[in-house]
Amino acid sequence: MSVIQKLRLNLRHAAKLLLPVVMLSFALPAAAGGIKTDIDPASVSESRTTSLGLYVSAKEAHQALLDNPDILLVDVRDPVELGFIGHPDGMDQNIPIMLATYQLNPDSGSYTMVANPNFVAEVDALFAREGLSKSDPIIVSCRSGPRSGVAARMLIEAGYSNVWNQIEGFEGSTNDAGIRAKNGWRNAGLPWSYKLTPQTAWAPLSQ
């Protein structure tokens, strides 16, 4: 576990003890989980939308994690993507929603991906590990937003009520040259790493 992750975990436990007292003294921000965003839900593409309408940019997600250590950040990409491309610093865990196969899809020219049947159960396990409830905030992220949109919708259907889609993802959207350089966590110059730990790596549940 990195120093940043240890600090966030310690702050998270302290925040849980102080939150009831703080809530008695003043009202929390209007945004769910105290997360601030300037994103207009009407501007979000359909593949990234959710019924809750909670969206953040990469920079907003990073600031939210600094402001509130109780927020979970889950990267839903295939574990191989994280190993070769990297992941956000401060990520709580990689829990893939889809897994790559070695079967080529001739139409897309890429390898076929299959669903992780235990995605929601693995998020449940993470929340249990951290002592959180389904009303606590979680930010989900992928490469560029659509997969995390699917993940967010699945979690909402499973009863999670404070799910935020980081709509830019880690690599961001493509520019006119087809390069992922328009937005996203890494393009924003936010801290990231290739290194995983036993706590942040995917821990698949038996089917």
Q: Could you give the number of structural domains in the chain?
A: 1
Residue 137 lies in a domain: yes
Residue 140 lies in a domain: yes
Residue 202 lies in a domain: no
The CATH number of the domain holding residue 107 is: 3.40.250.10
How far apart are the C-alpha atoms of 141 and 36, rounded to whole Å?
A: 17
Residue 199 lies in a domain: no
How far apart are the C-alpha atoms of 75 and 93, rounded to whole Å?
A: 7
Residue 141 lies in a domain: yes
Residue 206 lies in a domain: no
How far apart are the C-alpha atoms of 197 and 30, rounded to whole Å?
A: 35
Residues ≥6 apart with Cβ < 8 Å to 190: 58, 59, 62, 88, 89
Residue 10 lies in a domain: yes
**pLDDT tens-digit profile of 52-81?**
999 999 999 999 999 998 899 999 999 999
Residues ≥6 apart with Cβ < 8 Å to 142: 75, 76, 77, 97, 148, 151, 169, 170
Domain span at residue 53 reads: 3-193
How far apart are the C-alpha atoms of 100 and 147, rounded to whole Å?
A: 13
Residue 204 lies in a domain: no
**pLDDT tens-digit profile of 160-206?**
999 999 999 999 988 888 888 889 999 999 999 999 999 999 999 97
